[in-house]
Structures are given as C-alpha cells and as structure tokens.
Amino acid sequence: MLRVRNLTTRFRIDRGAITAVNRVSFDVDAGETLAIVGESGSGKSMTALSILRLIPNPPGRIEDGEILFDGLDLLKLSDAEIRDIRGNKIAMIFQEPMSSLNPALTVGLQVGEPINRHGGAPWSKALLAARDLLGRVRMSDPASRVNAYPHQFSGGMRQRAMIAMAMACQPRLIIADEPTTALDVTVQAQILDLLKDLALRSRSALILITHDLGVVARYADRVAVMYAGRIVETAPARELYSRPRHPYTRGLMASVPRLDSDTHQRLVPIEGQPPNLAALPPGCAFAPRCRQAVDACKQAPPPLREVGPRHSAACIMEG
C-alpha cells in the first residue's frame, strides 16, 4: 500500500544544511502496523510529515525519493491533490491533541468536518456520523459529548476525539506520531488498544511512531529503527526482539524494561550523547557511542544489508 524509497528531507540552518531524513526506505501493507522507533531527534516525525508533504518550507525541503501510495507518487501530486489525500486516505494523529483541536469549535463539528468536506455529506448527517464515531472510540455518552468543547475533555478523551477524527473518512493509512506520550500509562494502553483494534477492523495500515520499545512489542508487526535520520535496522517485530543485530537496537533494548522477561534485568542506558545532525562523523553515526566500533566504522556510513529473512541492519560487523 505504501512504498517509501530513498526519502531524503533536508533543513537549511545557519551554516549549511542538515539531513533530517536520509535515504529512508520502507513498505507498509494493508492491515499491517509498522513501528518507527528511535531517540528524540532521529527523524521519525520528519519522516511522517514528509509522507503527507507537511514539511515547513523553508527551512525544510524533501530533496529526493519516492512515496508510492496505492501506486501514486505523493511527491508528484499537485497541492490540491495532496490536500485531498490528507485526512481522507491518509490520516495523522499527533502527540498533543490540544494543538490539533480547535478550542473554539465543538468536538462534533471537528469530527464531522472531514465527513462533510471529503465525504460530501450534509452537516446534519456529518454530526450524526460524528456521534457514532465518538461511540466507536468508546467515549461514554457520545450524544452529549458531541456538543462539548475540547477544554471540557481530559487528555485521554481528547486523544480519543483525535482518533475519531482520523477514522472519520475511513483512511487507508493512519500515521500516529507518539500518540500517547502525554498520557499516563493505563490510558496509554487503552488508547493504543483502541487504535490497533480500529485499524485491524478497517484493514487500514498503521504507522506507529514511538520511542518506547514496550509499545513496539505489543502492537507492531514490523519495526524500523531510526538513528540520525537513517533506518539502521528493520525486521518483523518478533525477530527484532529475539535477534537484534544493530548495536544501537541492542542498546535501546538494554535500556528499557522488557515485558517478556521475568528475570530482574539491570537497565543499562546507552552511553554518550545523541548525534548532532549538524556535525555527523564521516562514518557510521552511531560509531562514537558504539563499544564494538572499529576503524572501518569511521570511514563511510554502512549500508543497510540483509542479515536474515526480511531483516536488514546497517552495521559492518553484521551480515
């Protein structure tokens, strides 16, 4: 359904440019959940925003690549055509729902808006559909909530309203960018369970962006691990958990509690600083933090190579 090839997005900064998304390639099939994982600043959000062509220009620009969505290259569409895809065929859910909800409009008007705009339904019908959607995202008393304003909602309820908005036009692809980071742990699980359930029922593909490997284990089919703008490892979720091959992936795993382990493991944070994209080393961007790094790692960035079935890693020590 979605096929991203060599996606490259750069930002102009004071002196020169930084590559926030660096030759990124991945596929997502219908009904599949792809998790994009990595520390803050690794390029996850810019990858998502590039797919929807929402990169602020200037200072940003998609410089290269192909984004094939049902065979259509999104990078070649006119502005009007990509606007029609957004919120209609591809929906995005952001981390902070308050920044995407309009405080001056009722939740019903906002959830109904895409149905009215893209679906061409009259407002009376769109509002009924909105009420129905609020019920589907398991909000209690949807008939009165439809007339409420965002500030009357808790964080979890706002995120449910965002999911209802995203589902309104039955999108083929949902991109959720750290959708639960601002919520407490129990609400997080409820929201992610809901999102996964709705995506499965409608056979929508889901791209779940997170820095939380626990989320990955529970919800993702495939995983792409990003570091300094590149995908450094990609594999089916189970395979990645049982056989992580890139030292960065192993470092991430050692630094978070594992749900599947009953032994008391000691958590080991990854040493060193996250990379500065404005001053990347000539070789592997992870080499300065990598215990296994040898001289050859400092020569050129290692390519992503196949290391197993549907499993690739960008490390010269592997494969």
Can residue 45 be called a binding residue for Mg ion (CB under 5 A)? yes
Chain positions 38 to 67 lying near ligand ADP, rule: CB under 6 A, are 38, 40-46, 56, 59-60
> How near is the Cβ of 96 to ligand ADP at its closest, in Å?
13
Size of the residue set binding ligand ADP (CB under 6 A) = 16
> How near is the Cβ of 111 to ligand ADP at its closest, in Å?
26
Structure tokens belonging to residue 51: 């797919």
Nearer to ligand ADP, 42 or 159 (CB): 42
Chain positions 77 to 96 lying near ligand ADP, rule: CB under 6 A, are none
Nearer to ligand ADP, 31 or 41 (CB): 41
133 binds, among ligand ADP, Mg ion, none (CB under 5 to 8 A by kind): none
Cβ-contact 41, 274 below 8 angstroms: yes
CA 230-235-238 angle, to 5 degrees, is 135
Residue at token pair 């089916």: 236
Structure tokens belonging to residue 25: 């390639």
Nearer to Mg ion, 45 or 50 (CB): 45
Nearer to ligand ADP, 46 or 216 (CB): 46
Query: Contact letters (x/-) for ligand ADP, 256-295, by CB under 6 A?
Result: ---------------------x------------------
C-alpha 59 chain-centroid distance: 22
Can residue 35 be called a binding residue for ligand ADP (CB under 6 A)? no
Can residue 20 be called a binding residue for ligand ADP (CB under 6 A)? yes
Can residue 232 be called a binding residue for ligand ADP (CB under 6 A)? no
227 binds, among ligand ADP, Mg ion, none (CB under 5 to 8 A by kind): none
> How near is the Cβ of 19 to ligand ADP at its closest, in Å?
9
> How near is the Cβ of 250 to ligand ADP at its closest, in Å?
19
Chain residues that interact with ligand ADP, rule: CB under 6 A: 11, 13, 18, 20, 38, 40-46, 56, 59-60, 277
